[in-house]
Homo-oligomer: A and B are copies of this chain.
Amino acid sequence: MTEFELIHRFFSGLDFGPSTRLGIGDDAAILDIPPAHSLVVSVDSANEHTHFSELTLPEVVAYRSIASAISDLAAMGATPIGMTLALSLSEQDPLWLRSFSEGVTKAVYAFGCPLVGGDTTKGPLSISVTVMGTVPQGFGLKRSGATVGDLICVSSSLGDAAAGLQLELGTLFAEEHPSCSDYLLDRWSYPQPRLALGSDLLNSATACIDISDGFLADLGHLLQQSGVGAQINEAAIPISAELISVVGRAQALQLALSGGEDYELCFTLPSSVAVPEGCSVVGQIVATMGIRGLTNTPVRTGFQHF
Chain A residues close to B by CB (< 8 Å)? 2-4, 21-22, 25-33, 35, 37-51, 72-73, 75-76, 78, 81-82, 84-86, 88, 92, 116-124, 126, 128, 130-133, 135, 137, 140-144, 208-210, 225, 305-306
| A42 cross-chain contacts in B, Cβ below 8 A | 27-29, 84, 117
Question: Judging by beta carbons under 8 Å apart, are A122 and B47 in contact?
Answer: yes
| A26 cross-chain contacts in B, Cβ below 8 A | 76, 142-144, 225
Seed contacts A26-B76, A132-B132; 10 additional CB < 8 Å A-B pairs? A25-B225, A30-B39, A30-B76, A30-B140, A33-B37, A39-B132, A47-B88, A48-B123, A51-B121, A84-B130
Question: Judging by beta carbons under 8 Å apart, are A119 and B44 in contact?
Answer: yes
| A131 cross-chain contacts in B, Cβ below 8 A | 28
| With A38-B33, A72-B27 as contacts: A43 and B88 at CB distance below 8 Å | no
Return A295 CB to nearest CB of chain B, in Å.
29
Question: Judging by beta carbons under 8 Å apart, are A119 and B43 in contact?
Answer: yes
Q: Given B4, B122, B144, which contacts A50 in the complex, CB threshold below 8 Å? A: B122
Question: Judging by beta carbons under 8 Å apart, are B43 and A84 in contact?
Answer: yes
Question: Judging by beta carbons under 8 Å apart, are A117 and B135 in contact?
Answer: no
Question: Judging by beta carbons under 8 Å apart, are A35 and B32 in contact?
Answer: no
